[in-house]
Structure formats: C-alpha cells, structure tokens
C-alpha cells in the first residue's frame, strides 16, 4: 500500500436536504474510493472524534476520499438538535453519499461507528459496501441506556422520586421530548432508532465488513455478536467479521484511538479496489 | 450460572470502569458497590449497558437494585438468570 499525500477541507455543501457542514479528507491524486462516515451520536460521538479523525486521515492517505457530514442539528450544521429526526438524518447521510458520488464519479461506500450503523443501513443503497465499527446491535438498548442515564441523574441530584424507564418511554410515546445529559431528545429521533437493530441487515447485498474491538486476544466474539452473526449468515448475508485488539474508545474515560480498527479497515478497503 | 464466566464479567468491569490490573483480583465474593470508587451511578448505567450489549439481554428496572451490584458473584448471578430465562 503506497502512502500518498492528502488534504483536509471543511465547507458547507448544499446537499439538497439543506446546507450541511462537511469535513473532507482527500488524497491529492484522484481518489480511488469514496467513503461517507456515519458517526455515533451524543456522548459516544464526543468520545469517538479523535479515533475517527485519525482513521479518516489514514484512509485518505491510502487513496480514499472520506467525508464526515454534520447531520441536521449537530456540529456546525443548521438546526436545533431538539428538532432532529431519524428520517432527517437518514436523508442527510443519503444525500451526502449522492453528493460525494457526483463529485468523485465513484460508487460510495459507508463507514459507520456504533449507532451510525443503523443509520447507514437506512441511508445507503443495499448493494453498497459498509464498514461497521462496533455496530450497535439494538437501538432499543441504546434508548434504554439514555433513559437510565436520566434516572441516574435524577437519583444523583436527589430531586424527588425518580421515574422508571417505562414512564420516561411513555413520555416519548406521547410525543413529548426528554432532556437527557443536556440533549433534548426528539421522540421522532429516538423512537425510530429503538425500532431498529442488526436484523435489519438481513437483505444486505453489498460487502458487509463488521469489526469489533477486544481488550485482549479472545477466541470468539461476545454471545450477542455470535447470535447476530449466525442469524444473518443463515439468512444468506455474507459478513466479513473480525476482532482486533483495542479499547472501547466510544465510552472510555480517557480519549482512546482505534489503531487496530484503522489498520484492519485499511486491509478491507485495500481489496475493494480490486 | 456456569454459562457466565467470571472472566467475562471481570473483562466488562475492567473495560467499562478502566480498572486495569485491579480487575484481575476480583473474585465472586469481591465487593463492588461501595468498594470500587469508579462505580458511581453513571458507571452503574454503563456497566448495565455493557452487559446487555455483550450478552444480548435486557434488564427491567425492577430487576436491578443495589444488591445486584454488591459483589461480582451477585452480578454474575443476575446475568445468568437472564440468560437462563
């Protein structure tokens, strides 16, 4: 793999869904591949920024044009997070891919981290190549985690009796937003997320590269991953699964990189040029 | 209970709480809540989520109380009860 020069640019692009802030890492020579990054959200995004930026730089040095787009209501793009919906984010990532395909003349692949995997599943063409980093297997689990954080915060602040996850969920189902950890969550964002899970990849026709980290060399994937893999494989989905050494960078107290995931992804991307 | 190894629980505690080498010393009768300074209310949420994601299980509110986090063995039993169910 020859390492080429690359450049970084940041700009607002009109994606058709509106102006969105895009950060592009691109090789100075013509790109050989195009990749849209679909990040996790909330605190996991904050924790993941460094690992994603390092990897994006490495991918572009190896010939890939990588784009990170701030979806509606996030980062530097317009809109309030409280107004963000799942459908809007799916539309944004789909539009970012279409825009990048026009710009490069290449078929776009998606690289998704954590809950980004469920968004990428909805946004990408089902024959696209997907690279998933520690994909969230169940949107329901992510919602439950958010609701528990709110309960833990209430309990910690001692502001009266705490609500149960069921009560908080009922609030969302009535169409009312919930504030959790400084984020105002729109029911139209988190309820569709909760309905989605790894089973949604059952009809995937493109290359599906699924990578997870383990803190030490282990012989087999975690039970939840094993079940999901066998379910999808029985249904005829070809999955390239691998585990690499690494820390859970999306949740660690210290900001961690993802060197192992990055190198393994480069290996998978390298074969995409054919 | 045997379906859930103490190693798996130790690994999740080590990763989630950044315990490093201290995790290796944890046995079934090791006290967790009140004994590990890292295990505050937010960390309890993180550990629950990590267990759910690792084992593909879901805890209900009323299945979780302080006693579930009293010792490593209690946490292991909680997970085993979900897997067996």
Residue A240 has, within 13 A of its CA and on its CB side, a CA count of: 17
Residue of B nearest to A198 (CA): B56
Tell whether B13 is covered by a domain. Answer: yes
pLDDT tens, residue by residue, A15-39: 999 999 999 999 988 999 999 999 9
What values do phi and psi take at B22, rounded to 5?
-65, -25
Residues of A in contact with B40 (CB under 8 A): 156
Q: Which residue, among A150, A197, A156, has the nearest Cα to A169 in the 3D structure?
A: A150
What is the 8-class DSSP label of residue A221?
-
What's the pLDDT at A254?
74
CA-based angle A169:A170:A172, to the nearest 5? Answer: 65
Is the model's pLDDT at A73 over the cut of 70? yes
The verdict on a CB contact (< 8 Å) between B45 and A148 is: yes
3-state secondary structure of A121: helix
**Band of residue B2 on the pLDDT scale cut at 50, 70, 90:** low
Least CB-CB distance to A253: which of B18, B41, B54? B18
What's the pTM? 0.91
What's the pLDDT at A42?
85
pLDDT tens, residue by residue, A128-166: 999 999 999 999 999 998 999 888 877 766 666 678 899
* pLDDT above 90: percentage of residues in chain A: 77
Tell whether B18 is covered by a domain. Answer: yes
The residue written with tokens 């090791």 in the block is B30
**Band of residue B10 on the pLDDT scale cut at 50, 70, 90:** very high
Residue A152 has, within 13 A of its CA and on its CB side, a CA count of: 21
Residues of A in contact with B18 (CB under 8 A): 252-254
A230 and B CB contact within 8 Å: no
Question: Are β-strands A208-214 and A130-133 bridged in parallel, bridged antiparallel, or unpaired?
Answer: parallel
Q: How many domains does chain B have?
A: 1
Tell whether B72 is covered by a domain. Answer: yes
The verdict on a CB contact (< 8 Å) between B58 and A149 is: no
Average pLDDT over residues A56-78: 96
Tell whether B59 is covered by a domain. Answer: yes
Residue A78 has, within 13 A of its CA and on its CB side, a CA count of: 8
pLDDT tens, residue by residue, A104-117: 999 999 999 999 99
> What average pLDDT does chain A have?
92
What is the 8-class DSSP label of residue A69?
E
Average pLDDT over residues A191-201: 95
What's the pLDDT at A160?
63
Chain centroid, CA B78 distance in Å: 8
B42 and A CB contact within 8 Å: yes
A145 and B CB contact within 8 Å: yes
Residue of B nearest to A142 (CA): B49
Residue of A nearest to B7 (CA): A218
What's the pLDDT at A158?
65
What is the domain extent for residue B63?
6-83
**Band of residue B76 on the pLDDT scale cut at 50, 70, 90:** very high
What's the pLDDT at A271?
74
What's the pLDDT at A251?
82
Tell whether B14 is covered by a domain. Answer: yes
Tell whether B1 is covered by a domain. Answer: no
Q: Best of A150, A152, A166, A199 to disrupt the B interface by mutation (most B CBs within 10 Å)?
A: A152
Alpha-carbon distance of A166 to A173, in angstroms, equals 10
pLDDT tens, residue by residue, A243-273: 999 988 888 777 888 999 999 999 999 876 6
Is the model's pLDDT at A232 over the cut of 90? yes
Tell whether B73 is covered by a domain. Answer: yes
Is the model's pLDDT at A48 over the cut of 90? yes
Tell whether B46 is covered by a domain. Answer: yes
More confident residue, A242 or B1: A242
CATH number of the domain at B46, please.
1.10.1200.10
Question: Are β-strands A239-245 and A19-27 bridged in parallel, bridged antiparallel, or unpaired?
Answer: unpaired
């Amino acid at each position: 793999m020859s390492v080429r020069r690359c450049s970084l640019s940041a700009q607002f692009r009109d994606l058709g869904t509106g102006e969105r802030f895009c950060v592009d890492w691109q090789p100075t020579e013509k790109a050989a591949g195009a990749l849209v990054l679909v990040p996790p959200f909330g605190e996991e995004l904050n924790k993941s920024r460094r690992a994603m930026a390092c990897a994006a730089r490495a991918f572009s040095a190896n010939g890939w044009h990588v784009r990170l787009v701030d979806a509606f209501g996030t980062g530097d793009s317009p809109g309030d997070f409280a107004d963000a919906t799942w459908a809007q984010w799916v539309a944004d990532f789909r539009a970012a891919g279409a825009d990048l395909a026009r710009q490069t003349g290449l078929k776009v692949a998606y690289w998704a981290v954590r809950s980004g995997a469920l968004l990428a599943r909805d946004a990408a063409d089902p024959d696209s190549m997907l690279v998933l980093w520690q994909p969230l297997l169940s949107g329901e689990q992510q919602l439950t985690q958010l609701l528990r954080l709110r309960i833990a915060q209430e309990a910690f602040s001692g502001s009266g009796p705490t609500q149960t996850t069921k009560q908080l969920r009922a609030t969302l189902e009535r169409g009312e937003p919930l504030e959790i950890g400084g984020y105002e969550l729109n029911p139209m964002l988190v309820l569709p997320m909760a309905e989605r899970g790894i089973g949604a990849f059952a009809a995937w026709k493109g290359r599906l590269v699924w990578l997870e980290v383990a803190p030490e060399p282990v012989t087999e994937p975690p039970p939840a991953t094993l079940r999901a893999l066998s379910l999808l494989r029985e249904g005829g989905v070809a999955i390239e699964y691998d585990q690499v050494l690494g820390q859970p960078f999306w949740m660690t107290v210290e900001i961690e990189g993802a060197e192992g995931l990055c190198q393994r992804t480069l290996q998978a991307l390298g074969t995409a040029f054919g | 209970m045997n379906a859930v190894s103490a190693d798996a629980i130790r690994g999740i505690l080590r990763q989630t709480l950044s315990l490093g080498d201290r995790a290796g010393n944890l046995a079934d009768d090791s006290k967790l809540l009140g004994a590990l300074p890292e295990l505050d209310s937010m960390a309890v949420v993180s550990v629950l989520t990590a267990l759910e994601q690792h084992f593909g299980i879901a805890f209900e509110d009323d299945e979780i109380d302080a006693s579930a986090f009293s010792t490593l063995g209690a946490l292991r039993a909680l997970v085993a009860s979900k897997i067996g169910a």
